[in-house]
Chain A
Amino acid sequence: MKKIWVIARKEWGEVFRHRLVLFSVAFMPLIFSAIPLVMLYSIRGFTDLSALSEFSDLMGLASQFCGDLVGIECGQYLVLQQFMVLFLLLPAIIPVTIASYSIVGEKTTHTLEPLLATPITTAQLLAGKAIAAALPAIVATLIAFGIFAVGTSFLAASPAVALHLFSPLWMLGIFGVGPLLSIAGVSMAVMISSRVNDPRVAEQVSALVLLPVMAVFMGQIFGAVVLNLRLMGLIALAFIVVDAALLFFATQLFQRETILTRWK
Chain B
Amino acid sequence: MSKTIDTRRVLIFLGFAFGISWAVALYLYLSGGIVDSPQLLPGISVATALIATIYMWSPALANVFTRLVTKEGWKNTWLPLQFEGRGRFWLLAWLLPPLLTFVGAGIYFLVFPEHFDPTFTFMRQTIATYAAQGNPLPLAPEILVLIQLAQAILLAPVINSLFTFGEEFGWRAYLQPKLLPLGYRRGLLATGAIWGLWHAPLIAMGLNYGFDYAGFPWAGMLGMIIFTMATGVVFGWLTIQGKSVWPAVIAHATINGLAASAILFTHPDAITNDLLGPLPIGILGGLPWILLAVWLLQRGDPRADAKVSRETSPPRASSPSAKSMIFAQGLTKSFGEVLAVDGLDLDIPSGEVFGLLGPNGAGKTTTIRMLTALIEPSAGQAVVAGHRLGDEDNLLRKDVGILTETPGMYQQISAERNLAFFAELYDVEDISGQVERYLRMLGLWGRRSEPVGTFSKGMRQKLAIARALLHEPKVLFLDEPTAGLDPEASKIVREFVSELRSEGRTIVLTTHNLDEADRLCDRIAVFRTSLLALDSPTNLRRQLYGRAVVFHFEALNPAFAEAMEQKSFVREVKTVDNKLVVTLDDPEKRNPELVRELVGLGAELQFVGELRQSLEDVYLQLVRGKGAEVEV
Measured CB to CB, the residues of A under 8 A from B are 2-3, 6, 10, 13-14, 17-18, 109-121, 249, 252-253, 255-258, 260-261
B376–A257 CB distance below 8 A = yes
B412 interface hit (Cβ, 8 Å) = yes
User: Can you name 8 A-B pairs with beta carbons within 8 Å?
Assistant: A17-B413, A109-B410, A111-B408, A113-B408, A117-B397, A117-B400, A253-B83, A257-B374
Bound-complex Cα distance A2 to B431 (A): 15
A239, B202: Cα distance in complex, Å: 36
In the complex, are the beta carbons of B408 and A109 less than 8 A apart? yes
- In the bound complex, residues from chain B placing their C-beta under 8 Å from that of A118 are 397, 422, 425-426
The interface bits of chain B over 372-410 (1 if a CB of A lies within 8 angstroms of the residue's CB, else 0) are: 111110000000000000000011011010101011111
Query: How far apart are the CA atoms of A78 and B146 in the complex, in Å?
Result: 46
CA distance A258 to B373 in the complex (A): 14
Which residues on the A side are within 8 Å of B375 (C-beta)? 256-257, 260-261
| Given pairs A14-B410, A110-B404, A119-B427, 11 additional interface contacts (CB within 8 A) | A3-B425, A6-B425, A13-B417, A109-B411, A110-B407, A113-B402, A114-B464, A117-B397, A118-B422, A261-B369, A261-B375
- Give the residues in chain B near A255, CB-CB below 8 Å: 83-84
Selected from A110, A114, A119, the residue in CB contact (under 8 A) with B395 is A119
Taken residue by residue from 81 to 121, chain B's Cβ proximity to chain A (1 for < 8 Å, 0 otherwise) reads as: 10110000000000000000000000000000000000000
Is B335 on the interface with A (CB-CB < 8 A)? yes
In the assembled complex, which residues on chain A have CB atoms less than 8 Å from the CB atom of B398?
119
Residues from chain A with a CB closer than 8 A to the CB of B410 are: 10, 14, 109, 111
Inter-chain residue pair count (beta carbon < 8 A):
85
Which residues on B sit within 8 Å (CB–CB) of A111? 408-410
Distance between Cα atoms of A117 and B396 in the complex (Å): 10
How many of B's residues come within 8 Å of A, CB to CB? 37
Cβ contacts under 8 Å, B376 to chain A = 257
User: B483 to chain A: closest CB distance in Å?
Assistant: 13
User: Which residues of A sit under 8 angstroms from B397, Cβ to Cβ?
Assistant: 117-119
Measured between C-beta atoms, what is the minimum distance from B355 to chain A in Å? 21
Q: Which residues of A are found within 8 Å of B411, using beta-carbon distances?
A: 109
Cα–Cα distance between A109 and B410 once the two chains are bound (Å): 8
Contact A260 B374 (CB under 8 A): yes
A119 close to B369 (CB less than 8 A): no
A117 with B402: CB separation less than 8 A? yes
Check A119–B426 contact: CB distance below 8 A: yes
Question: Is there an interface contact between B374 and A256, defined as CB atoms closer than 8 Å?
Answer: yes
In the complex, what distance in Å separates the CA atom of A112 from the CA atom of B413? 16
Residues of B within 8 A of A256 (CB): 374-375
Q: Which residue of B lies closest to A10 (CB)?
A: B421
Which residue of the partner chain B has the closest CB to A110?
A: B408
The answer for the CA separation of A10 and B409 in the assembled complex, in Å, is 12
Residue of B nearest to A6 (CB): B424
Check B413–A114 contact: CB distance below 8 A: no
**Closest residue of B by beta carbon distance from A120:** B425
Q: List chain B residues, Cβ under 8 A from A17.
A: 412-413
Shortest 5 CB-CB contacts between residues of A and residues of B = A110-B408, A118-B425, A110-B406, A111-B408, A252-B81
A146 to B462, CA, bound (A): 48
Contacts of B83 in A (CB 8 A): 253, 255
- Of the candidates A3, A18, A114, A258, the one having the most CB atoms from chain B within 10 angstroms of its own CB is A114
Closest residue of chain A to B376 (Cβ to Cβ) is A257
Residues of chain A with a CB closer than 8 A to B421's CB: 6, 10
CA distance A14 to B504 in the complex (A): 37
Q: Which residues of A contact B427 (CB under 8 A)?
A: 119
